[in-house]
Amino acid sequence: MEFVQKGALEASLPEARASELDLLIEEIFVNVCRYSYPDSALGMVTVTYWIPAPGELKVEVADQGVEFNPLTAEPADVTLDLKHRPIGGLGIVLVQQLAASLAYRREEGWNRLTFGISARS
């Protein structure tokens, strides 16, 4: 998280966007641990960031685990009342709502999820 926060500083993202960045990274990382490398298997995760323009940050999280595209995952129904809600499933909702852009590709055995966060979003 400290690593991508350097990116937030370099891209001059405001504090509120930097907090959202922490949340996006945690959600994506926990997802990789849970779905890409199940059963406590050891696996690699790489995090890369770049600044395509001032006030814009792009982050790619890549892993070599089981193919999983969070963009096509069924998001939880956020309109359900407490009684009918499942206990989990809200991470993907947060990623889809907080990222200014989101793209996934499977490439030579790697899951590559890229999200954008903007000073203006």
Partner 1 sequence: MDAENAPQFEQECNDRIADGLTSLVVDAGELVYVSSMGLRCFVAVAKTLQSKGGELRICSLQGLVNQVFEITGLKRSFPVYESLESALISGQK
Chain positions contacting partner 1, by CB under 8 A: 16, 19-20, 22-23, 26-27, 30, 76, 78-83, 85, 87-91, 93-94, 97-98
CB-wise, 30 or 71, nearer to partner 1? Answer: 30
CB-wise, 110 or 118, nearer to partner 1? Answer: 118
User: Rounded to whole angstroms, how far apart are CA atoms 35 and 111?
Assistant: 11
Which of 14, 98, 105 lies closest to 55, judged by CA? 14
CB-wise, 11 or 24, nearer to partner 1? Answer: 24
Whether 65 and 35 have beta carbons less than 8 Å apart is answered as yes
Q: Considering the complex, what minimum distance in angstroms separates the CB of residue 53 from partner 1?
A: 24
What Rg value do the Cα atoms of the chain yield, rounded?
Answer: 15
User: Rounded to whole angstroms, how far apart are CA atoms 50 and 3?
Assistant: 12
CB-wise, 88 or 109, nearer to partner 1? Answer: 88
Q: Considering the complex, what minimum distance in angstroms separates the CB of residue 86 from partner 1?
A: 8
Q: Considering the complex, what minimum distance in angstroms separates the CB of residue 92 from partner 1?
A: 8
Whether 92 and 75 have beta carbons less than 8 Å apart is answered as yes
Q: Considering the complex, what minimum distance in angstroms separates the CB of residue 56 from partner 1?
A: 20
User: Rounded to whole angstroms, how far apart are CA atoms 10 and 89?
Assistant: 32
